[in-house]
Structure 1
Amino acid sequence: MRGDHAREHWVDVADGLLDAVTPYATPGHAQYRLPGRTSRSGPESDGLEGFARTFLLAAFRLAGDPAAAPAALLERYAEGLRHGTDPGHEFAWLPVADGHQTIVEAASVAIALHETRPMLFDRLDPGVQERVVAWLGGIVGKHAWPCNWVLFKVIVEQFLAGVGGPYDQDEIDRHLADVERWYVGDGWYTDGAGQNYDYYCGWAIHLYTLLWTRMSGADATVHRERLRTFLDGYRHLFAPDGAPMHQGRSLTYRMASLAPLWLGALFDASPIEPGATRLMAGRTLDHFAAHGVPDERGLLSLGWHRPFLPVTQNYSGPASPYWASKGFLGLLLGPGHPVWSAPAAEPDAGDLSLALPAPGWLLHRSEGVTRLVNHGSDGNDPDTARDDPHYAKLGYSTHTAPETGPGGRAENIDNHLTVLLPDGRATRRRRIERIGVADGFAASRYADGEVVVETASVLDGPWEVRVHRVSAPAGSVVRDGGHAVASGEPCEVTPGGLTASVTAAAGKELVSEIAGLHGWHTAAAALRHDENAFGTCSATPYLVGVHPCGRVSIFVSAVRLGRSPNAEGPQISVHGEQVSWNDSDGSRVEVRLGREPHYRRHGSVGERVVWTG
């Protein structure tokens, strides 16, 4: 069965990744200086990152089956600890500093030391132990950014508490209280104040809070139940072929998206059967392998399927992708664990429509593709209003990426409702103000100067129907874009009246389509080169309309992303500001935005959904 890999396969992949970085180790193995763009923190920090993140992978590989632990791997990281913490060594680690990347890497070192303690830390010479404790102890009292970074301090100080090192219990308690304030329900945390919903909820917040309980012996009940609830929705962020949702920052960590799945098995806190967990994780591993990850050198590059810097942040250095190590957390589960021994169980792969009210998302799956409709995550804290394309778009998917090259970022066509003002300025969706989320429905608004755009998304078969209520100066031009598709060859464009579709040939054809249902006068496609993480050639279908003389107007479009070349779209009617239609199930749908927004779906067999803002 595809993706059904034994534990030995994961060990082999981990060993391959660890072997591939050894040629880039500095003398003494304290740093791994991998090829690639230097981060904003500089080569010394990047070298430490190379040690810490591969040490994490080595620790999972070693601790899960100590009897099979390679002595050479243990010695390699023991040597790195000896030299990295020796201030007189040429490649000694930078001291931990306020708001510095060293805080992040100290947490990986602490987790790795905790998990391998009997075979590594406890066997170090006392002088080396003291130096390790002293280097980690530099974190006490240091400033961490008010996001998942506070948990790095919690992890390090908890490890120090367990080995008799310096720590501040008040700091640990205060930072855990910070995280508690970010909990929004349904297993979801925002990463710091604001609307920062992305993979950090799983591969950082859930991971570190539960590993803290593993270190401290604290009661894990609340964190386990939150993880269980989180996983009930999170498992649907993967396509049936293993492709993860392409949304949020630090996507270059790739397989780290698997960490919450393994974490659920590790803490007996998963709604997913053990055999399904193994299969889901294996398919994601295979998905990246099929797209050249790791590369021909055996290395993880800065990118997604291919090296692609626009998918990274300025804190990303050449070793940053090795937080993919978190995706190997399952190796902590020994060979006899049910996640490895249970019969394979197929995850749910059928059509899906699921509301996730906490992050403000709808998940929509058909034809092997999962789409995320976004009306809640903008990647901003209360004091900023950026429009990061990995957060601010109306939609994301497992098989497409936003256009993140300079041209795509500037023009901002894909999955965005833009108002082009008479003075030439184009509006941008920076801060999302939620209107509501219900079954098959989500809505939000954004304001940019004198323009206010309200958008409701309604799931209808393979379509997302978008109802836009636009308040803008007369003569403004309105534009709505679908998903950008990409591949290594030019995409095929199929215009037709008020419908535009683009097709990417990438093994199986992927079709992105947008249809103008009300208010539009033109359909077209934007073609780009080397602007997309999924391929060098990309294309986005879009619609254009002219705002009428009145201050408020209604535009309705239907967006589709799938494998079928043709799909019949909905037939709508617009009466004033109310939009109505019969959906693919025969239900009557009504949507109204404005001062008294509402959504009603009257089912053909009696079911009824009513939402009123």
Structure 2
Amino acid sequence: MERRKFLGALSIAGFAGTICPKGLLAAEKNSPGLSGNVKNEREFWWKLLYKIANPVTSNLANGTFKKNMLVEKSPTFDSRSVHVTYLEAVGRTFAGIAPWLALPDDETKEGAFRKKMRMEALQGLSRCFDPASPDLLNFKTDYQPIVDAAYLAHAFLRAPKALWEPLDDLSKERILTSFKSLRNRKPFNSNWLLFGSLTEAFILFAGQEPDSERLNKGVKKLNEWYKGDGYYGDGPNLAFDYYNSFVIHPMMVDTLKVMLDHGLATSKEYELALSRMERYAIGQERMISPEGTFPPIGRSITYRTGSLQALSQVALMERLPSTLKPAQVRAALSLVKKNMYDVPGTFDKDGWLQLGFVGHDPDIADYYTSTGSLYMATLSFLPLGLPESNEFWSAPAEDWTARKAWGGKKFAKDYHVDY
């Protein structure tokens, strides 16, 4: 990468810092979308994603990540090292921004911001795996790195040409070595098994030998725990929360895709997992109220819109069921984002996310939650990986299912499925 080009890309940093939350999130709640203007709706999404992710990517690039990230932890935070929060922020942020960063460069304002963030992300990745860097990420202690290595691996799988291939060989080797170092710790017997599976799937994707048992165990056990109608158990029992979306469906599908590409899984196995995620996505869309809210159910609700990752990934993959129009999913997600992020206290004075569901409320945070944990929020922005010309963005906004139903309009019936 030429230094002159890199500095040129960074020259818009001052302009980027002028994005105002109020200006970004202004909307008309009574319209199907945010303003009835499709182009403005996409602009709302990418500016909001940029606002959320920029403190992570820009500070990583500048070598000031740990210095400037003011860490807030749950009042019930457990005995794990609070330093795990830094890898949490990096892995989760990168998993959410990856599809957007994978789009080709263009001459639009969005394109300029996207290119800047991609270049900072690449520079930051080199820094945070450098043993001499003050921002070196921890993989050596605690169990939490098992989780967030998987989110970073997910980012590389979602945007290999944007985030993996451009890295220098030394950085790639450091990353893979860090991922492999986690093999001395076993994931817990829950959704955590998929963290091990996805990380090993990426190691396989990168051309190195995976730990076969770790790769297969998550897929095998989650299939054993499947409860039906789009829901996996989190362990032997069903947990009525959003972990099917935070983790299980996206990581199951993407692990199986790598395995399929390497002859380690069948098309039938992959399509079954994808069909189950599609079914789950139907339920997610129906849980978005006419007002653009979703139920604060279960643990980890401080991950905010990360709860809607499964629906967002199905949209990104252009696998929405026929009963869901892309424009209705976009309109529903847009209003949820407006309702969730246009609230005082969501961000601190320096732009970092704060503990809470809507606004700032540390008491709602779980014992494993700190500032870095919150960047799961980026995972609902995956459809930004679709170009502006895609139907998801180009079609006029439509009412989503709950708004149709409660407005006395025609809407699709719903039935359980047997797969």
TM score, norm. by length of structure 1: 0.54
RMSD, matched Cα: 2.8
Matched, 1:130 2:173: yes
Q: Which residue of 1 aligns with 2:311?
A: 261
For residue 165 of structure 2, give the secondary structure of its aligned residue in structure 1.
helix
| Aligned counterpart in structure 1 of residue 358 of structure 2, from 305, 309, 312 | 305
Q: Which of 87, 92, 95 lines up with 1:56 in the alignment?
A: 95
Gaps of 5+ in 2: 1-30, 409-415
Task: Quote the residue 1:107 is aligned against.
Answer: 150
1:288 aligned counterpart, secondary structure: helix
Could you tell me which amino acid in structure 2 is paired with residue 46 of structure 1?
T
The alignment status of 1:11 with 2:55, answered yes or no, reads no
Rate the CA distance shift 1:366–1:192 in 2: closer, same or farther, 3 A: farther
Deviations 1:492-535 (A, max 9, x none): xxxxxxxxxxxxxxxxxxxxxxxxxxxxxxxxxxxxxxxxxxxx
Matched with 2:338 is 286
Summarize the Cα distance change of 1:169–1:102 in structure 2 as closer, same or farther, 3 Å threshold: same
* CA offsets 1:426-462 (integer angstroms, 9 cap, x no match): xxxxxxxxxxxxx9xxxxxxxxxxxxxxxxxxxxxxx
Q: Is the 8 A contact 1:243 1:284 kept in 2?
A: yes
Residues 1:317 and 2:352 are matched in the alignment: no
Shift of residue 76, structure 1, vs aligned partner:
2.2
State the Cα distance separating 1:37 from its structure 2 match: 2.3
CA deviation profile, 1:330-386 (whole Å, cap 9, x unmatched)? 11222222211223221123697xxxxxxxxxxxx899xxxxxxxxxxxxxxxxxxx
Is 1:230 aligned with 2:280? yes
- Name the SS of the counterpart of 1:184 in structure 2: strand
Q: CA deviation at 1:116?
A: 2.7
Is the contact made by 1:227 and 1:269 (CA closer than 8 Å) also made in structure 2?
A: no
- Which deviates the most, 76-85 or 14-23? 14-23
| Distance (whole Å) between structure 1 residues aligned to residue 58 and residue 318 of structure 2 | 39
1:188 aligns with 2:188: no
CA distance in 1, matches of 2:226, 2:315: 22
Which of 187, 206, 220 is the matching residue for 1:163?
206
CA distance in 2, matches of 1:294, 1:333: 27
- Conservation of the 8 A alpha-carbon contact between 2:73 and 2:370: yes
Change in 2 beyond 3 A, CA 1:178/1:338: same
Are 1:33 and 1:50, in contact at CA under 8 Å, matched by a contact in 2? Answer: no
Take 1:293 and 1:224, find their aligned partners in 2: how far apart are those partners?
37
Residue aligned with 2:208, SS: coil
Residue type at the aligned position of 1:135: S
Residue identity (%): 26
8 Å CA contact 2:61–2:123 kept in 1: the answer is no
SS at match of 1:118: helix
User: Conserved in 1, the CA contact under 8 Å of 2:95 and 2:154?
Assistant: yes
Aligned to 1:270: 320
- Letter aligned with residue 52 of structure 1: G
Give the structure with higher Rg (CA).
1
Q: What CA distance in whole angstroms lies between the structure 2 residues aligned with 1:28 and 1:248?
A: 36
Match of 1:348 among 375, 393, 401: 401
C-alpha distance in 1 between matches for 2:69 and 2:86:
5
The answer as to 2:292 corresponding to 1:242 is yes
SS in 1 for 2:91: helix
| SS at structure 1 position matched to 2:332 | helix
State the number of aligned residues. 356
Runs of 4+ in 1 over 6 A off after TM superposition: none
Q: Which amino acid aligns with 1:334?
A: P
Distance 1:209 1:9 in 2: 30
Structure 1 residues 77, 22: closer, same or farther in 2, change over 3 A?
A: closer
Q: Does 1:72 align with 2:116?
A: yes
The separation in 1 between residues aligned to 2:162 and 2:280, in whole angstroms, is 34
Give the alignment partner of residue 202 of structure 1, picking from 245, 263, 272: 245
Residue 276 (structure 1) shift: 0.7
Q: Matched residues in 2 for 1:43 and 1:270: separation?
A: 39
CA contact 2:241–2:298 (8 Å) conserved in 1: yes
Find the residue that maps to 2:72 and give its secondary structure.
coil
Q: Give runs of aligned pairs for residues 401-420 of structure 1, distance below 5 A.
A: none
Judge conservation of contact 2:249–2:277 (CA < 8 Å) in 1: yes
DSSP 3-state at the match of 2:227: strand
Gaps of 5+ in 1: 353-364, 368-438, 440-613
Residue matched to 1:331: 384
- The answer on whether the counterparts of 1:58 and 1:73 sit within 8 Å (CA) in structure 2 is no
The answer on whether the counterparts of 2:99 and 2:382 sit within 8 Å (CA) in structure 1 is yes
TM-score with structure 2 setting the length: 0.77
Q: Are the aligned partners of 1:158 and 1:212 in contact in 2 as well (CA < 8 Å)?
A: yes
- Whole-Å separation in 2 of the counterparts to 1:54 and 1:140: 23
- For residues 401-430 of structure 1, the C-alpha deviation after alignment (integer angstroms, 9 at most, x for no partner) is xxxxxxxxxxxxxxxxxxxxxxxxxxxxxx
User: Structure 1 residue 248: deviation in Å?
Assistant: 0.4
1:81 alignment partner, SS class: helix
Cα distance in 1 for partners of 2:327, 2:248 equals 25
Select the structure that is richer in strand. Answer: 1
Is the alpha carbon distance of 1:169 and 1:44 closer, same or farther for their aligned partners in structure 2, counting shifts above 3 Å?
Answer: same
1:53 offset after TM fit, Å? Answer: 2.1
CA contact (8 A) 2:346 2:360 kept: no
